[in-house]
Amino acid sequence: MPTPRETILAALHARLSALPATALRGEALPERVPAAGLLILRDGEPGEPGVTLSPLRYHYQHRAEIEAVVQGEGRNTSFDALCASIGAVISADRTLGGRCDWVEAEAPRPVDLPVEGAANLKAAVIPIILHYSTADPLA
């Protein structure tokens, strides 16, 4: 049986997979970026939990990351549309179907990356904060 952490990350990946961009999880950056863009969900760090007693609960603000990448002409517009679509997916269901308490994204810090012999990439890491509680830090 998957842990709450894995269930939440899988649900987030499923939501991202519904977007036109290719959504991967924990993969290396491929050699080619699809025309609609590329999203790579990184599991990130759960951080130090807050703890309550009676009943014992561990409260996490897990910091996952989405690497968003576009390439080609019009990459500024494409990147903006890709980020907006990620925001729309997150704001449409901030509990991922009741799997976590709250999901929020932080603003991306885009960079242009030159590629020798090809069009430049526009990319950013988008931090995603997943708020959830569990009875066991390993479960």
Question: How many C-beta atoms surround the C-beta of residue 57 within 10 A?
Answer: 14
Tokens 């997916």 correspond to 89
Question: What pLDDT, on a 0 to 100 scale, did the predictor assign at position 73?
Answer: 87
Q: How far is CA 37 from the centre of its chain?
A: 14
Residue 27 lies in a domain: yes
pLDDT per residue over 15-67, tens digit each? Answer: 999 999 999 999 998 888 999 999 999 999 999 999 999 899 999 999 999 99
pLDDT at 119: 82
Residue 139 lies in a domain: no
Q: Write down the pTM of the prediction.
A: 0.94
- 106: in domain: yes
CATH number for the domain harbouring residue 12: 3.30.70.1700
- Does 79 reside within a domain? yes
Give the domain extent around 91. 4-134
Q: What is the pLDDT at residue 118?
A: 81
What pLDDT is recorded for position 76?
Answer: 94
Q: What is the pLDDT of residues 62-117, one digit of tens each?
A: 999 999 999 988 999 999 999 999 999 999 999 999 999 999 999 999 999 888 88
**Those residues with Cβ within 8 angstroms of residue 62's Cβ, 6 or more apart along the chain or in another chain:** 5, 8, 44, 45, 46, 47, 129, 130, 131, 132
Determine the Cα–Cα distance for residues 28 and 108; give it in Å rounded to an integer: 20
Please give the pLDDT value at position 50: 96
Distance CA 123, CA 83 (A): 10
Structural domains counted in the chain:
1
Assigned domain for 91 exists:
yes
The pLDDT, as a whole number, for residue 21 is 97
Q: Tell me, what's the pLDDT at 72?
A: 87
pLDDT > 80? residue 139: no
